[in-house]
Amino acid sequence: MSEELHYKSASELSQMLANKELSSVELTKATIARVKAVEEKVGAFNSFDESDALAQAEASDARRSAGKSFGPLDGIPVGIKDNLAVNGQPLTCSSKMLENFVSPYDATCIEKLKSQGAVLWGRLNLDEYAMGSSTENSAFKTTSNPWDLERIPGGSSGGSAAAIAAGQAVLALGSDTGGSIRQPASHCGIVGVKPTYGSVSRYGLAAFASSLDQVGPMARSVKDAAMLLQAISGHDERDSTSYRFEQPDLLAAIESNSGRKWTLGLPKEYFANAENTPAMEPILKAIDFYRSLGCEIKEVSLPHTDYAVATYYIVATAEASSNLARYDGIRYTHRAEKFDAKDSVDIYCQSRAEGFGEEVKRRIILGTYVLSSGYYDAYYLKAQKVRTLIRRDFENAFKEVDALLTPTSPSPAFKKGEKASDPLSMYLSDIYTISANLAGIPGMSLPCGYSDGLPVGLQILGKPFKEDEMLSIANQFEAAHDFKDQHPSL
């Protein structure tokens, strides 16, 4: 039975639970069994608590038999990236700094999932503090790409993407600061959505770069992602950057939009070298598909694209240097055993030297530098101005088109260790995803084919708060292809 269950979509499973063909306990047990079977190869989880998950599943089944089910997510196992706060569970951010930290509170998105009965299932690996594009920066383990265990799953939400691709969770939450949901989704052949900035509360998401971070869903299908996004989005009084907006019923919107003929833009800067990259072939085919549907395909220009990566690494590291200052060895973080007791500065230095990994240190130092007096105007302030120009590029493009189609990543998943010693080339793997975070617009990746047997993702960038349209466009493609039913052999 479990063989049949672990690649079913959330909407199918939800239906089965509703029809009482399946109980949440059965589903959760099957999920646990699947994790036990493949986790050694995949390494997606930092930790999980079987008995806690089963207790949640039992509670869900009890509600259902009492006729008080909380809705479509009730009883569905959802994996959680290990940088989101769940009361009573470890919150490590895959950092030695937080190795022994247990969160005493729930993130808002977690609270929402709990109130809808989801079974919160395990803590998924990530690049330390969500800094990285390969999940190789985790202090605890390296996650493998289920399609090729020699390769990285992408990052930083590599654990979430791999768990979905390997059938270890039905749905998962990730976070996306510069592409951390979309790029691993692309590499693992699943759907990943970065929502509009301000549409999902950041309360309880361990901050990397506050003005860029956004929590989002990762799933095996567009509809599953829509279902999870619906569950976690909405205004939150505990997050000042949370926006008051009316979100339509995403699943209903996807249905009602199924025949629309969109105007879709191709940013020419993203396709400049299209012929030379083999991974571009499935993307071009996907574009042809939309053309065949009767959509108008237009070339547009995002003239400041070249500056996006540099701008991102200034803004993100500046914010990170400040956000990560709280991990200091004083309250709840790793404290060095040996330090000069007379000097609190020494506690900080020793503890942070031991607790943080190389990439995190690199970014803290960079961020500290770009904010330091004398350099602020030249770097941070300039980057903020460029950021405005990048946002305007998108505003202008969206005057002409409903959404943009681009590759998610310049190449399919690379081999472990391939870029580990070359941070700059690693940073460039976010080149197509970063701008959406700088502009605050929604973006998603969905599987659109293979290159050398590895999944390739199509990125759709939408108008702010128009997730319904973006998901509808994605669904048109998914409905006509069977990529969501293709799974890695493990």
Partner 1 sequence: MEYEAVIGLEVHVQIKAKSKIFSRVQAGYGHEPNKLVDPVVMGLPGALPVMNKAALDGIIKAGLALNCTIPETCKWDRKNYFYPDSPNNYQITQYDQPICDGGYVEIELPGETRAVMGEHKKIKLTRIHLENDVGKLNHFSEDSLVDYNRAFTSLMEIVSEPDMSSGEEAFAFLTAIRQTMIYCGISDCDMEKGQMRADANISVRPVGQKELGQKIELKNLNSITGVKNGIEYEIKRQTRELKKGNAIKQATWRWNADLNQTEMMREKEDAHDYRYFPDPDLMPVKIDDEWKSRLQSEIPELPWDKQRRFMEEYGLPYSITAVLVPDRALSEWFEAAAKQAPKLAQAIGNLVANDLLRELSETGESLADCKITPDSLLGLVQVVEKGTIPKNVANKDVFPEMFKTGETAEQVIERKGLKPDFDEGQVRVWCQEAIDENPKPVQNYKDGNEKALNALLGPVMKKSRGKANPQLVNKLIRELIS
Residues 184-203 that bind partner 1 (CB under 8 A): 202-203
Stretch of 97-105, 144-152, 274-282, 456-464 lying at the interface with partner 1 (CB under 8 A): 97-105
241 binds partner 1 (CB under 8 A): yes
Based on CB atoms, which residue is closest to partner 1, 2 or 368? 368
In degrees, rounded to 5, the angle at the alpha carbon of residue 470 between the alpha carbons of residues 118 and 312 is 90
36 binds partner 1 (CB under 8 A): no
Stretch of 62-70, 253-261, 316-324, 482-490 lying at the interface with partner 1 (CB under 8 A): 316-324
Per CB under 8 A, the list member of 54, 332, 336, 410 interacting with partner 1 is: 332
What residues contact residue 296 under an 8 Å CB cut-off, 6+ apart?
A: 261, 262, 263, 264
439 binds partner 1 (CB under 8 A): no
Per CB under 8 A, the list member of 47, 301, 344, 486 interacting with partner 1 is: 344
| Residue 156 bears catalytic tag | yes
| Residue 298 bears catalytic tag | no
Cα dihedral 466→469→475→480 (10° resolution): -150
Per CB under 8 A, the list member of 148, 224, 269, 319 interacting with partner 1 is: 319
Contact code string over 61-90 relative to partner 1, x by CB under 8 A: ----------------------xxx-----
Q: 């130092």: which residue's tokens?
A: 365
Closest separation between CB of residue 353 and partner 1, Å?
A: 14
Strand 119-124 and strand 77-81: the pairing is parallel
Closest separation between CB of residue 278 and partner 1, Å?
A: 39
376 binds partner 1 (CB under 8 A): yes
| Residue 94 bears catalytic tag | no
Q: How far is residue 75 CA from its own chain's centroid?
A: 22
Based on CB atoms, which residue is closest to partner 1, 48 or 203? 203
Based on CB atoms, which residue is closest to partner 1, 2 or 210? 210
128 binds partner 1 (CB under 8 A): no
318 binds partner 1 (CB under 8 A): yes
Q: Position 330: which residue type?
A: I
Stretch of 10-18, 101-109, 219-227, 423-431 lying at the interface with partner 1 (CB under 8 A): 101-109
In degrees, rounded to 5, the angle at the alpha carbon of residue 102 between the alpha carbons of residues 336 and 153 is 90
Based on CB atoms, which residue is closest to partner 1, 101 or 414? 101
Catalytic choice (9, 69, 134, 180)? 180
Based on CB atoms, which residue is closest to partner 1, 118 or 315? 315
Catalytic choice (29, 81, 194, 223)? 81
Based on CB atoms, which residue is closest to partner 1, 195 or 447? 195
Based on CB atoms, which residue is closest to partner 1, 318 or 448? 318
Catalytic choice (14, 134, 144, 156)? 156
Stretch of 4-12, 40-48, 322-330, 440-448 lying at the interface with partner 1 (CB under 8 A): 322-330
Q: 């390969």: which residue's tokens?
A: 134
Per CB under 8 A, the list member of 252, 272, 330, 480 interacting with partner 1 is: 330
Contact code string over 206-225 relative to partner 1, x by CB under 8 A: xx-xxx--------------
Per CB under 8 A, the list member of 65, 100, 301, 372 interacting with partner 1 is: 372
Q: So which residues are the catalytic ones?
A: 81, 156, 180
**Which residues in this chain contact partner 1 in the complex, by CB under 8 A?**
83-85, 91, 93, 98, 101, 103-105, 107, 202-207, 209-211, 237-241, 318-319, 321-322, 325-326, 328, 330-332, 344-345, 348, 368, 371-373, 376, 380
